[in-house]
Structure 1
């Protein structure tokens, strides 16, 4: 679908043609079919740029109109279009004509534009020309960029109101430029009020001095321009003056110096332009990604009309790209920001149907539809599909499990499904297990899966030690104390140089739970080894030391470690608790530390809750 953009300025010297040529080159380089049209008939300059030099002596727009006036028949556009190249990519130009030829001026002066429109069906002539552009070479052009002449002219209305889908107005922010633009911009708005398809306005300050505005002169001029041109949202892009002689050489900066500041600013303008061409996939993606930020700005201005326009454009983009999964997903995010859950769910379905980020899309659809759908089964099935997926990451798996736990009595079966993933995904499995270690009822499944994972030959040695350590924690939490001792022995055999402190403590806890008597020798060794390591600064290490001292009959040392544990405990932290052998939120950890303190102060028999919690819970 062809998109026509006119580049207009009230005065020259603002870099209008430079912007057009560079944006045309960028579009051509990205694979679009681009036609540049030189409608600056009094001072044509497109052929002066290197990429269009092949059109220097070619017939063009003036010849096209002259032929029509002489014959009454619209000529073939292809006879007035010259093919060129930019870095091996084709690009086309329709020049003004042979402007260095004396006959050119005479031919131009002979064209009465008012008479052409009023008596010679000029409107139909340009409609036919536009249709020929759309059909050129069988496919037509993706973009037609028109370089319009400056000021108030007869040709101006053709370029700014008749032909374009968008007008890029460029101006140096001074009083004469701003004042001159006001009626032209207003005429475009009047035209918009009479047509269903709106001409989009891009108003861009350009050739702006890149200097320190310590006196606020530039800021005042831009505010004045924003007010007079009715740009409530200001100017998204500014093109600054670029001090380089290459500008005089008509260099195509976007190609030869793509990382220059000028090229980056022109790229911003290019994205602003294609972002309003909803049929352009790149532009559609750009626009959808901007919706949440645009909506936030509209909310701050209490601009309800802007919200409606954002809503409408999101629907339009999704309609034009209804078979594009990524756009479906981005549209869903836009609809979420707009508060339209029904449209969000439909857009997510498009993403899923076309295979884009299906795990995340299913997760969001499943969670959102639970709140709005009467069919809870379908919503939960989305979440179960996430757990079955081998491509799902902890970012999708963990939330899916959390929701299933709240809504499904069979959530442990779903956990088993999530854990039944390839051994090669050991990092994902470990992340999943660490989260599941918040719920005692899930620990037997975690322990069983980790013990199988430890036998995987492709597991690096350091990861095997970590897997076995997690397995031990899960076995103790599940009340499988004998198996925990065996797993520790296996871990020591596989990696004798591992973390002896952790193994000492866990082995002591498992043995204590079996014998119901503290293993004094093991706990003494644990305390001695811990005091030689600096890792005891976190809350878990302090709590472990406190419990060891409690078991060894050292109440003062135990109370000291409890106090230190409370000092290092951070609000919102999830820490592993040796009191319950579960991951524990900071609030619960604080309560457990207080429980341990009370037990010491009251002289109670020390019995950690994990001794009896697992059998009671599981049986």
Structure 2
């Protein structure tokens, strides 16, 4: 049960209207909400259309009167009424009104001696019992109290004893600022006395009834800056602007009847902010944790840790919240506790593949590699994993044991990728080591066969694209005839793309052991008007250098090769036509050095060809 007091020093700021809209919004979200009208001098909640079957015959005043007469707390259910609104999501709404507003109400109210109640009649315990009865009889998620204005004894009950949170509504002028200082100061003093951070009263500051006009002279901006400084808050919780609608005359509940209006949106924002501070509320706790996950500068660590502990205690059987807690705890460096939370979340039913991957990452951090592989294997059974998550899985397997990459290739998650995503992963992770080329071939054959079975003309280009990549991997493997078959067997001509001509020439070179000068001359002819030295593609320049050597221009080939060495930027992977695999910068430079040596010696044999001859 979370108690929120709505307070304003002066009237006319829409305090009761705000409470009514927030209460209805909470109920529409499936919450159980009790509204209590403690504005005893000027009660108003009963005037809203909450679907009461009858005018209230009893309320707060009668409840107190009964106690003073009998010295026993009466049954609170006799003073609370069901609200019969068309509420969504099984929410509930109740009202404890100020009382029976008959001709005797003012007289009876004036007889209540609040000082006597507290000093001689155990008033503090009396109101604590009232809170206990609210919880026992109704177990509401929220109790929203409409407090009277000004500095009063009732105001003290509503702002210091009863609430977990206070919404201070004000019109930004000096009169409201002067009045609020005393009330806010009293709450701050009480919070200072409370040693437990979680027992302190949260304070929300809401400017209300403010005209939505241009602030060209910064009058409103400067005034609100003064409020912020004087009342010691960083920013407004919400702003409720003046809304010009005759519907306000009927006290229409906008969040219920006009949910798309700006006013309803502003009330929903206030509702969200109230929930955000309530650790007991699943939705509020989730929103708070999600904010921490996204934030780079969360609350002070002490306050954060207190709240995290509180949230965990209240939601220890909620897997979604445990998952979020795990992410935040991991950020603080407590890997073991983070893993413990994620394991419990999984035990409670959080079987999402992304959760399994987080579990795997934590296992790796603790050097529990076998457990990590099990988690990855489980995650890859899902066909809903996104590309980024599968890429994470591949990275983790490469880190643990690259020989286990077979589990990636054969997994439903990998095989369910879009064609271009699958090929991207193959090129990045399976074509940088000779030992992984067979896995790349296996994956591409699966892709090609799967698409061909669909007999969809729309997939023809994708099949062709996959075959091109497979042909390049066959080159790296030294299986040159297979590569030529995939490229179409027919020798290319000047009308083909330069990359097609070059790759075919390399495959033919592998078969005949002689560089096909006619094809590589076509490559040079195609780029005659291109300034090779200003091209950023390092692999392109490497291919052109090799082509120049093949047609007999060793000087140009050497000039380009030395240029590559001088200007190569350190990158993680660069495709090399010397090996037909992705190489690190260091490996690529080694390839260029071998090319330079071969060019100088007059005998150039790319390593993928010499390796192919050796293997086969």
* Fold match by TM threshold 0.5: yes
Superposition deviation, residue 168 in structure 1:
1.6
Aligned position for 2:322: 328
Structure 2 residue corresponding to 1:401, chosen from 364, 385, 394? 394
Superposition deviation, residue 385 in structure 1:
4.4
Aligned position for 2:127: 126
* Inter-partner Cα distance in structure 2 for 1:55 and 1:273: 31
Q: Point out the more displaced range, 396-405 or 31-40.
A: 396-405
Structure 1 residue 515 corresponds to structure 2 residue 505: no
Consecutive unaligned residues of structure 1, counting only runs of 5 or more, are 299-305, 493-497
SS of residue in 2 equivalent to 1:289: helix
Aligned position for 1:416: 406
Consecutive unaligned residues of structure 2, counting only runs of 5 or more, are none
* Inter-partner Cα distance in structure 2 for 1:47 and 1:568: 79
1:314-325 aligned at under 5 Å gives the runs 314-325=308-319
Structure 1 residue 205 corresponds to structure 2 residue 195: no
* Inter-partner Cα distance in structure 2 for 1:359 and 1:41: 55
SS of residue in 2 equivalent to 1:415: helix
* Contact map agreement 2:574 2:582 (CA 8 A) in 1: yes
1:164-563 aligned at under 5 Å gives the runs 164-192=163-191, 193-194=193-194, 196=196, 197-207=198-208, 208-231=210-233, 233-292=234-293, 296=297, 306-356=300-350, 358-371=352-365, 373=366, 375-387=368-380, 390-408=383-401, 411-412=402-403, 414-422=404-412, 423-427=415-419, 429-436=422-429, 437-456=431-450, 457-458=453-454, 460-489=459-488, 503-523=500-520, 539=537, 544-545=543-544, 547-553=546-552
Q: Deviations over 1:173-230 (max 9, x none)?
A: 3333223222322322343424755143223131244344444443443333333323
Q: Point out the more displaced range, 425-434 or 154-163.
A: 425-434
Aligned position for 1:38: 37
* Contact map agreement 1:388 1:418 (CA 8 A) in 2: no
* Contact map agreement 1:394 1:431 (CA 8 A) in 2: no
Q: CA separation of 1:160/1:547 partners in 2, compared to 1, >3 Å: closer, same or farther?
A: same
Aligned position for 2:6: 7
User: What is the CA RMSD across the aligned residues, in angstroms?
Assistant: 3.8
Structure 1 residue 105 corresponds to structure 2 residue 106: yes
* Contact map agreement 2:576 2:588 (CA 8 A) in 1: no
* Contact map agreement 1:7 1:146 (CA 8 A) in 2: yes
Q: Point out the more displaced range, 358-367 or 566-575.
A: 566-575
Q: Deviations over 1:283-308 (max 9, x none)?
A: 0111112225666165xxxxxxx221
* Inter-partner Cα distance in structure 1 for 2:135 and 2:216: 49
Q: CA separation of 1:290/1:614 partners in 2, compared to 1, >3 Å: closer, same or farther?
A: farther
Superposition deviation, residue 38 in structure 1:
1.1
SS of residue in 2 equivalent to 1:141: coil
* Inter-partner Cα distance in structure 2 for 1:614 and 1:271: 66
SS of residue in 2 equivalent to 1:102: coil
* Contact map agreement 2:243 2:263 (CA 8 A) in 1: yes
Q: CA separation of 1:567/1:286 partners in 2, compared to 1, >3 Å: closer, same or farther?
A: farther
Superposition deviation, residue 526 in structure 1:
5.9
Superposition deviation, residue 375 in structure 1:
4.4
Q: Deviations over 1:227-252 (max 9, x none)?
A: 33233x33343333334444444232
Superposition deviation, residue 563 in structure 1:
11
* Inter-partner Cα distance in structure 1 for 2:282 and 2:319: 12
* Contact map agreement 1:59 1:98 (CA 8 A) in 2: yes
* Contact map agreement 2:319 2:349 (CA 8 A) in 1: yes
* Inter-partner Cα distance in structure 1 for 2:377 and 2:601: 49
Superposition deviation, residue 21 in structure 1:
1.3
* Contact map agreement 1:59 1:95 (CA 8 A) in 2: yes
* Inter-partner Cα distance in structure 1 for 2:496 and 2:118: 88
* Contact map agreement 2:380 2:411 (CA 8 A) in 1: no
* Inter-partner Cα distance in structure 2 for 1:355 and 1:475: 45
Q: Point out the more displaced range, 119-128 or 416-425.
A: 119-128
* Inter-partner Cα distance in structure 2 for 1:531 and 1:476: 27
* Contact map agreement 1:367 1:403 (CA 8 A) in 2: yes
Aligned length: 593
TM normalised by structure 1 equals 0.83
* Contact map agreement 1:38 1:61 (CA 8 A) in 2: yes
Q: CA separation of 1:354/1:568 partners in 2, compared to 1, >3 Å: closer, same or farther?
A: farther
Structure 1 residue 16 corresponds to structure 2 residue 27: no
Q: CA separation of 1:470/1:154 partners in 2, compared to 1, >3 Å: closer, same or farther?
A: same
Q: CA separation of 1:394/1:435 partners in 2, compared to 1, >3 Å: closer, same or farther?
A: farther
Aligned position for 1:303: none
Structure 1 residue 93 corresponds to structure 2 residue 95: yes
Q: CA separation of 1:602/1:200 partners in 2, compared to 1, >3 Å: closer, same or farther?
A: farther
Aligned position for 1:301: none
Q: CA separation of 1:88/1:194 partners in 2, compared to 1, >3 Å: closer, same or farther?
A: closer
* Inter-partner Cα distance in structure 1 for 2:612 and 2:270: 63
* Inter-partner Cα distance in structure 1 for 2:294 and 2:448: 47
Aligned position for 1:495: none
TM normalised by structure 2 equals 0.83
Aligned position for 2:151: 152
Aligned position for 2:606: 608
Q: Deviations over 1:120-161 (max 9, x none)?
A: 343343333323322335xx2111111111111111122112
Q: CA separation of 1:568/1:269 partners in 2, compared to 1, >3 Å: closer, same or farther?
A: farther
SS of residue in 1 equivalent to 2:199: coil
Superposition deviation, residue 571 in structure 1:
7.7
Aligned position for 1:81: 80
